[in-house]
Chains A and B, each alone.
Chain A
Amino acid sequence: MSTVTKPLGSRGSMARPQLAKNRSGRIGANDKTSYTSTIILLLGALYCLLPLAWVLMASTKSGGDLFTSNTFVPSRHLFDNIVELTQYRGGLYWRWMLNTALYAGVGAFLSAAVSAFAGFALAKYSFKGKQATFMVLLAGVLVPGVILAIPQYFLLAQVGLTNTYWAVLLPQIISPYGIYLARIYAGASVPNEIIEAGRTDGASDLRIFLRLAVPMMAPGLVTVFLFQFVGIWNNFMLPYIMLGDDRLYPITVGLNGLLNQGSTVPALYSLVITGALLSIIPLVVLFLVLQRFWKVDLGAGAVKS
């Protein structure tokens, strides 16, 4: 480990300033293309694309051709499959998509809001029970969702909320991980001087939080939002247990149902595959548009507290 500090001590950048470029700068003498590393990375990309390419090809095939034609040769039935999927039980698929967007969108927004409040309080205030609260909240990260889902069902059944949108929405607002990240972001991006200045001007703490802190934390909160969005989008167990009515299903549970129809009904593979493809698209778009917010520095959370 001693090597860590060595370059720090012997920095030679001053000697050759013309080469000490900004990271985003032009290619220097040392920066000639490395084919090995480029190829390794592209192989990684290929590995990640392969199943997606497969689902794209498979979704262009009709039910009858799906298994009997060459896998990576596309056919022309994509549109037919989308039409068939749309017709399935009166457009149920699109309702699943909307449900998923609702669960993930609203749930992630509320989660980011709750996390922002909690993270800001934990980062910027000193109060009794702070450390204990943080530890307890964080311990929630360790509890498997599968384990929580069953007792959560019993609790919601007590107030008659099972088999409703609330059953899927409410339990997913609390995100220990989101609070953990929000605390990091609040600690790192909101300077104490700003809070002080706000207080001197006589602003209330809530106003300081909403007007000053939230805009500064915004990029981080977008990350929390994305995190929870993907988390809810991917969650299978909770809606699977909570919901009985297939009109309330999110996409994961819906597609799973299409696949496991019981022995007396054929599995609707071409619908499932087309549905899987279409369900990935919104998330891919979301990723591409918001990719600059995917900066998750877990290490920064390991700050002294």
Chain B
Amino acid sequence: MTTTVDVDQTAPGRDPAAKPSAPAPRAARRHRLNFTPYAMLAPATILFLIFMAAPIVYTLILSLQKTEVQGLGLGSGARKTVFAGFSNYAAAFSDSDFLASAGRVGLYGLILVPAMLVLALVFALLLDSKRTRLAGFSRVVIFLPYAVPAVISSLLWGFLYLPSVSPFVDLTTALNLPSPDVLSQGSVIFAIANIALWGGVGFNMVVMYTALKAIPTDLYEAARLDGASEIRVALAIKIPIILPSLIMTAIFSLIATLQVFAEPTTLKPLTNSISSTYTPLMKVYRDAFIRNDVNSASATSIIIAVTIFALSFAFLRVVQRRAFQEENS
């Protein structure tokens, strides 16, 4: 994920994270055989091997197996595990529920990621603008939902969505307006996206705001004095400079989007519109925990992980080529 982006973000003494990175110390390289870095990496490496690498390998193995049953499948020894080749993968790719869930998450990403990024960017730019009042208050409040676990935020929004307990519906009925059922088939995807947006926009805003604050003031103060509008300053100066941050937030949002699970799972009991395979990870959960079919779940898991991997890389490649070739040349 290291890009060759190199943007000058010199902000003297402001934010340690934004300081330019010095070249790696030559002295360190001169050490002949130094075990120190390996020792320092050891805890992370060991934990990584045990809690990430081994589970992934295990998942791979599981995905190539299946359980076979004899007779009625009752009693001990009636089930055994056999090698299944890629049949679990083939089954996943021919499962219309899975394909539908993949399509749904694609749509969900198209709704959520742009909305999240645009809104976060707008908020960050407004925060950065000296002409905005009460910015400190707004910044804290918009960031707050990040502190609310998805399970709890989905529960809260669920209450606000259900027509007969929703204060909004009370309001619209009082005003004699039609009250849409946000949990109906057509709009439930927006209802879910809204919960994720609510929880995530503040975080992304803070990321972008941090990057904006790292821009040396004189870079755009001059432009403003030359009469450029705030919007023009933002579009022409600020956004291009924080582009690396925007790209990283986009990638992390994309990853989070493809893993959407907690929100639809919490809303599921409230509506007829969310099936047990509404998103790919819900299918994984259903297969593993409701159907007790760990092998199918593993195969689907691997497909999801590979997809996320591929999409993240593809995205990075594309934006890198498009956005940075000019600067790098």
Contacts and interface: CB of A to CB of B under 8 A. Distances in A.
Direct A–B touching in the complex (beta carbon < 8 Å)?
Answer: yes
B281 interface: yes
A72 interface: yes
B301 A147 contact: yes
B189 interface: no
A44 B255 CA distance: 24
A55 to B, nearest CB: 6
B51 A297 contact: no
B43 A118 contact: yes
A174 B49 CA distance: 10
A82 interface: no
Contacts of A199: 27
A210 to B, nearest CB: 11
Contacts of A264: none
With most chain B CB atoms within 10 A of its CB, the pick from A3, A7, A280 is A7
A234 to B, nearest CB: 4
A135 B48 CA distance: 12
B285 A146 contact: yes
Contacts of B23: 192
Interface residues of A, number: 137
Contact of B34 (A31, A125, A184): A125
A13 B326 CA distance: 27
Given A134-B2, A147-B59, A148-B51, A276 B152 contact: yes
B48 A174 contact: yes
Nearest to A234: B149
9 contacts: A38-B131, A41-B134, A48-B198, A142-B305, A143-B52, A146-B259, A147-B305, A152-B55, A195-B27
Interface of A: 1-4, 6-8, 10-13, 16, 19-23, 27-28, 30-34, 37-38, 40-42, 44-45, 47-52, 54-55, 58, 67, 70-72, 113-115, 117-118, 120-127, 130, 133-148, 150-152, 154-155, 170-171, 173-174, 176, 179-180, 184-185, 187-189, 191-192, 195-196, 199, 205-206, 209, 216-217, 219-220, 223, 230, 233-234, 236-237, 251-252, 255-256, 259-260, 272, 276, 279-280, 283-284, 286-288, 291, 294-305
Interface of B: 1-7, 9, 15-29, 34, 36-38, 40-41, 43-45, 47-48, 50-52, 54-56, 58-59, 62, 119, 122-123, 126-127, 129-135, 137-138, 140-153, 155-157, 159-160, 164-167, 170, 198, 201-203, 206-207, 210-211, 213-214, 217-226, 230, 236-237, 240-249, 252, 255, 258-259, 261-262, 266, 269, 281, 284-285, 288, 294, 297-298, 301, 304-305, 308-309, 312, 323, 326-327
